[in-house]
Amino acid sequence: MTNLIVELSKFAFIILIALYTLLSFSAFKKKSPGEVNYVWKLQNLLMFFIHLLAYVVMYLQKEEIKLLIFYLFQLFLLQAVVVMTQVIYPQINRLVLNNMCLLLAIGFIMLTRLSYDRAVRQFQIAAAALILAMVIPVLIRKCGFLTKIPWVYGIAGLILLAAVVVFGESSNGARLSLKIGSFALQPSEFVKITFVFFAAARLSKSTAFKDVVLTTVMAALHVLVLVLSRDLGGALLFFVAYLVMLYVAAKKPLYFISGLGAGCAAAYAGYHLFSHVRVRVMAWSDPFQYIDNEGYQITQSLFAIGTGGWLGTGLYQGEPNKIPVVVEDFMFSAIAEEFGGAFAICLILICVSCFMMFINIAMQIKNDFYKYTALGLGTLYGFQVFLTIGGAVKFIPSTGVTLPLISSGGSSIVATIAMFAIIQGMYLLKEDEELRIEKERKRNARAKAKKARAAKAEKTKERS
């Protein structure tokens, strides 16, 4: 009987998330406020169904009461986030909010399935981060000086990254984390934000050639230090985010093209200089030949995705734990294995809708600093999703970056939640701006009408 429920739940998951995805994209069309509100409510409902069903299916198979208790905690947290955010910030971007909650929920589900302890830890960190993130939009609104201290961001970021190179803990060939007490911190996750702030502050002030050169040197230093710590995925992310920001700020395609050229040259040099780059590329180009060593991880990922097929094996029916470092780098494969390829495609599309919304917001903001920040963070998000999923399905060589909000990792989840909150803050500023403009327009119109009436009165007076 349980088997049957697991089998049927696969279809239910796919239908639920497909509906959710459809609604995500319908949000880009103009609709009346009432309709839109209905869409958001429906999305929330779908999310809670997916979440509930997943825990029911897991409970039926494991029969551990702790799963149900954990579920209730998550339900409370997600519900609280949805409600509280709307109470504090009525103008919040609901698509971003809903997507964040859904991705978190899927992350919790898959992590619980893979490793209960990690899931609990992830939940605790996420809960703390979500509460802290509530104040971020206020901070952005109140603290104008944030836009004026580029070098503070730049230098602080570099110092943090350099500290990793010097004192960092090595894991899987890359130096990524600093140990502070029992906490392992991944500074590069947070430096993403300071880096974007730095570039946005500099580029919004001036795009004169001299300034651009200086900014670019600083950005290149970031990338270089990341390469030194062997965090190639991170280096690539920073590089692409900066390139996009520079292009939009300076509006010079030449910068973009020469940047791309430099990137290609660097990639070529990196390939020949570093053996670990070659190993990654080798494992990508023919993983089955090196199945026992270099290609082991990626082939396990492909086995997972392939065995899952379109419909998935159902929760607990696959073996996603066979993939090394699955909870950090290969969550996508685990999801594709047990929830199926159709579900996985919906997941990609949801991430894409999130990314599109970020860029949308960025393009509507008038203030340059906020615009570039939103753009930079949005690019970081979008490209990171691309890198990790592309790596998992062997579309590109694996770079070992996390799937934001879904993969296990405290630093990653805190930084991503902060990123989402920052973009929300900017969205709110834009809404404020629009409200102000709207008010001003109304006031002007009123004044005009008054004037006209006065003039008319004057005329009639004269005539009489």
Partner 1 sequence: MITYLFTGLFALLIGYFVYFNAVLRPEVINNPYNSRQENFAKRVVRGKILASDGTVLAETKTAEDGTEIRSYPYGNVYAHVTGYSTRGRTGIESLANFELLTSNAFFGEQIANELKEEKNIGDNVVTTLDTKLQETAYNALGNHKGAVVVLEAETGRVLAMVSKPDFDPNRVNEDWESLNGEENSDGVFYNRAMQGQYPPGSTFKVVTLLDYMRENPGYEDFHFQCSGSMTEGNYTIRCYGKNAHGNEDLKKAFAKSCNTAFSSIGLSLDEDVFKTNCESLLFNSELPLDLPYSKSAFSLKGGAAPAEQMMTAIGQGETLVSPMHMAMIMSAVANDGILMKPYFLERVETYSGDLVKNFRPSVYGSLMTEAEAEILTEYMRAVVTEGTGSKLDNMGFFVAGKTGTAEYSSDKSKSHAWFAGFSDTGESDIVVCVLVEEAGSGSEYAVPVAREIFNAWNMERE
The residues that touch partner 1, with contacts defined as CB under 8 A, are: 1, 3-4, 7, 244, 247-248, 288, 291, 299, 302-307, 309-310, 313, 317-319, 322, 341, 344-345, 348-349, 352, 355-356, 359, 375, 379, 382-383, 386, 389-390, 393-395
- Which residue number, 74 or 384, has a Cβ lying nearer to partner 1? 384
Query: Residue 182 in contact with residue 158, Cβ under 8 Å?
Result: no
CB of 120 to partner 1, least distance (A): 27
- Residue with structure tokens 């006209």? 452
CB of 295 to partner 1, least distance (A): 10
Query: Residue 163 in contact with residue 185, Cβ under 8 Å?
Result: no
Distance, in Å, from the CA atom of 137 to the CA atom of 420, rounded to the nearest integer, reads 10
- Which residue number, 274 or 303, has a Cβ lying nearer to partner 1? 303
- Which residue number, 44 or 379, has a Cβ lying nearer to partner 1? 379
- Which residue number, 164 or 387, has a Cβ lying nearer to partner 1? 387
CB of 355 to partner 1, least distance (A): 7
The DSSP-derived string for 244-290 is: HHHHHHH--HHHHHHHHHHHHHHHHHHHHH-HHHHHHHHHHH-GGGG
Give the tokens for residue 110: 């898959």
Nearest to 192 by CA among 458, 457, 417, 424: 417
- Residue with structure tokens 């502050």? 201
- With the C-alpha atoms ordered 163, 178, 275, 392, is the resulting torsion angle positive or negative? negative
CB of 294 to partner 1, least distance (A): 14
Distance, in Å, from the CA atom of 165 to the CA atom of 160, rounded to the nearest integer, reads 9
- Which residue number, 267 or 345, has a Cβ lying nearer to partner 1? 345
Helix residue ranges per DSSP H, 340-409: 341-364, 368-392
Q: How far is CA 339 from CA 11, 147, 309, 322, 432, in A?
A: 9, 43, 9, 16, 41
Distance, in Å, from the CA atom of 178 to the CA atom of 119, rounded to the nearest integer, reads 22
- Which residue number, 178 or 342, has a Cβ lying nearer to partner 1? 342
Nearest to 377 by CA among 401, 398, 361, 364: 361
CB of 208 to partner 1, least distance (A): 23
CB of 461 to partner 1, least distance (A): 58
- Which residue number, 382 or 400, has a Cβ lying nearer to partner 1? 382
Query: Residue 217 in contact with residue 174, Cβ under 8 Å?
Result: no
Distance, in Å, from the CA atom of 427 to the CA atom of 63, rounded to the nearest integer, reads 44
CB of 433 to partner 1, least distance (A): 22
CB of 272 to partner 1, least distance (A): 26
CB of 390 to partner 1, least distance (A): 6
- Which residue number, 4 or 254, has a Cβ lying nearer to partner 1? 4
Distance, in Å, from the CA atom of 43 to the CA atom of 37, rounded to the nearest integer, reads 10
- Which residue number, 145 or 288, has a Cβ lying nearer to partner 1? 288
